[in-house]
């Protein structure tokens, strides 16, 4: 997972100089309302997401480092909101072609290790901004409800 930008003591690293490897647990939920007119469907939605990334290795300027040696239990925790819209065309009772977009934004972000050392959190001068969930979606639903 590559962050958009990393600042340490207000010195930015470029996107290509820092990468992470680890396990990401991600979940989101949303509330949506479907508006339908004949065969056309418009579905706006809003919700929230949570992501927890445990970092095992990192690369700085192309050199790999073991994060567990220097920062045991290094974990990035992020919570934020989601908003999006989906447009669909229904081809009968159980088939739909749809196109949509969702975007995310952060409320809270923190990088800490298992000893309680916080390396950054929302609002600190040391920040890391991981890519927020966002996607252009295209789908074909068959035999759906």
CA dist 74 → 18, 58, 70, 145 (Å): 15, 11, 9, 43
Q: 71: which strand partners?
A: none
pLDDT tens for 78-137 read 888 999 999 999 988 889 999 999 888 888 888 788 888 877 676 554 444 555 667 888
Categorize the per-residue pLDDT at 10 as very low, low, confident or very high, splitting at 50, 70 and 90: very low
- Summarised one tens digit per residue, pLDDT across range 36-71 is 999 999 999 999 999 888 888 877 777 788 877 877
* Total residues belonging to the chain: 145
Q: What is the pTM of this model?
A: 0.66
Q: Is 7 exposed, middle or buried (0-12, 13-18, 19+ CB in 10 A)?
A: middle
SS3 61: coil
pLDDT at 116: 80
């Amino acid at each position: 997972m590559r962050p958009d930008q990393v600042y340490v003591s207000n010195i930015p690293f470029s996107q290509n100089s820092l990468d992470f490897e680890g396990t990401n647990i991600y979940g989101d939920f949303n509330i949506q309302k479907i508006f339908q007119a004949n065969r056309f469907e418009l579905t706006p939605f809003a919700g929230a997401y949570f992501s927890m990334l445990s970092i095992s290795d990192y690369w700085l300027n192309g050199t790999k480092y073991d994060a567990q040696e220097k920062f045991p239990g290094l974990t990035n925790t992020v919570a934020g909101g989601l908003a999006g819209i989906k447009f669909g065309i229904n081809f009968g009772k159980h088939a739909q072609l749809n196109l949509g977009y969702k975007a995310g934004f952060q409320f809270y972000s923190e990088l800490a290790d298992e000893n309680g050392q916080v390396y950054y959190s929302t609002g600190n001068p040391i920040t890391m901004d991981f890519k927020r969930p966002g996607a252009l979606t295209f789908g074909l639903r068959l035999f759906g409800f």
